[in-house]
Amino acid sequence: MKLSVATLALFAAVAEAFQAGKPTARARTGLNGEGSAETLVKTPPAGVDPAFDALVKANFPGAVNNKELATRVVGLLEEKGFTPENTLLATSVCADELARELEDEFVDVYGTNFNLGGLSGFPFAGNTGWGAMSAHVPDNGYCLTIHGPHVGITKDGVIGKVERSGIALVDSCCGSAIAASRYLQAITDGSANINPKIQSFSDFQQGAVQELILPFGQRLARAENRMRELPYALYDSQEVMVNDIINTGKAKIKKGLAVLGGIQINTSPDTFDYFHPLRFDYYDENGNMVENMLPYLR
């Protein structure tokens, strides 16, 4: 894979950001500085705890840390013609502030993003939001869309929990997903008080999340680890919506569209976050899916 000066600069900037041992806050990718891409690719990112890295990957095989993901994605898309000047970033991730970690990695490269997502990462902006976003793509430009649910993992490997900055209590992550899972579990075991009324507008997104994962009740009930399986069930549910939205509006994208989907894995403030990529598709200017780029992220 050919790497341009901008991509080499990206590798170098990220490496420089992590030279001083473990970061006190998660660093961002940037586009300044120069360095050897070959050296950086072969060298594990500074600040990565090998034991924790192995723990994350044992629970989520195929996961990569956000720094590694961003450098690979930016380099691959640059070969397609995506640049910070001609690319609009669109995201569908959870409202949780931890979900901004992944989003911000790409915002630092491509600039501000168009938000399509809501609770648990479902693209609640829908077809109307996609149409508005498409109109904002630069002339003769591209769109990178990133979507997916998120899940936490603590330093000692508890899935569905995460350490948060400034909070002593180890918190649930994703709270919306876990609440929906409990509702679904109560339906499965017959203890739920089901309300047939239309969902209240004051909490309609959570009501929608609960309804959208209903088809996955037995899958979650049979799972060896319900919290580990939950984000994957959510992802599969979201893919139905994402595919409908993309197939309806992909022709409105001007020169090309890249769709990156997967599971965000949030960790404590002093460790890298991770992402398990499950989809990385490229669509041409006619809306045809012409390349599956997922193998390049593994």
Other Cβ atoms closer than 10 A to 226: 18
Q: What's the pLDDT score for residue 175? A: 55
The rounded distance, in Å, linking the Cα atoms of 223 and 26 is: 32
Q: Is the pLDDT of residue 23 over 70?
A: no
Domain membership flag for residue 16: no
Quick one: average pLDDT of 12-18?
44
Q: Is the pLDDT of residue 25 over 60?
A: no
| CATH code for position 89 | 3.40.1050
The rounded distance, in Å, linking the Cα atoms of 187 and 193 is: 8
What interhelical angle do 126-135 and 226-249 show, nearest 10? 60
Q: How confident is the model at residue 17 (pLDDT cuts 50, 70, 90)?
A: very low
Q: Is the pLDDT of residue 166 over 90?
A: no
Which stretch of 20-24, 105-109, 243-247 has the lowest confidence by average pLDDT?
20-24
Residue 276: strand pairing partners: 263
Please state, for a pLDDT cut of 90, what percent of the chain lies above it. Answer: 52
Strands 274-283 and 289-292: antiparallel
Q: Is the CB of residue 59 less than 8 Å from the CB of residue 228? A: yes
Q: What are the structure tokens assigned to 274, written together?
A: 């991770």
pLDDT (tens digit per residue) in 67-96? 999 999 999 999 999 999 999 999 999 888
Q: What's the pLDDT score for residue 18? A: 38
Cα 264 to its chain centre, rounded Å, is: 5
Strands 256-266 and 274-283: antiparallel
Q: Is the pLDDT of residue 39 over 90?
A: no
Q: Which of 151, 135, 153 is nearest to 143 (CA)?
A: 135
The rounded distance, in Å, linking the Cα atoms of 225 and 180 is: 16
| Side chain identity at residue 206, one-letter code | Q
Q: What's the pLDDT score for residue 35? A: 32
Domain membership flag for residue 79: yes
Q: Which of the 8 DSSP states describes residue 159?
A: B
Domain membership flag for residue 261: yes
Q: Is the pLDDT of residue 293 over 80?
A: yes
What is the torsional sign of CA 168, 169, 174, 176? negative
Domain membership flag for residue 288: yes
Q: Which residues have a Cβ under 8 Å from the Cβ of 203 and sit 6 or more positions away?
A: none
Domain membership flag for residue 38: no
Domain membership flag for residue 10: no
| Side chain identity at residue 10, one-letter code | L
The rounded distance, in Å, linking the Cα atoms of 45 and 67 is: 8
Residue 161: strand pairing partners: 172
H helical segments located in the chain? 5-17, 37-42, 50-59, 66-80, 100-110, 126-135, 175-189, 204-212, 217-222, 226-249
pLDDT (tens digit per residue) in 94-128? 888 888 889 999 999 999 899 999 888 899 999 99
Domain membership flag for residue 267: yes
Averaged pLDDT of the chain: 81
19 — phi, psi (to 5°)?
-70, -25
Give this prediction's pTM: 0.79
163 lies in which domain range?
Answer: 49-297
Tally the domains of the chain.
1
Q: What's the pLDDT score for residue 189? A: 62
The rounded distance, in Å, linking the Cα atoms of 50 and 287 is: 41
Q: Is the CB of residue 170 less than 8 Å from the CB of residue 136? A: no
Q: Is the pLDDT of residue 197 over 80?
A: no
Quick one: average pLDDT of 33-60?
65
Domain membership flag for residue 31: no
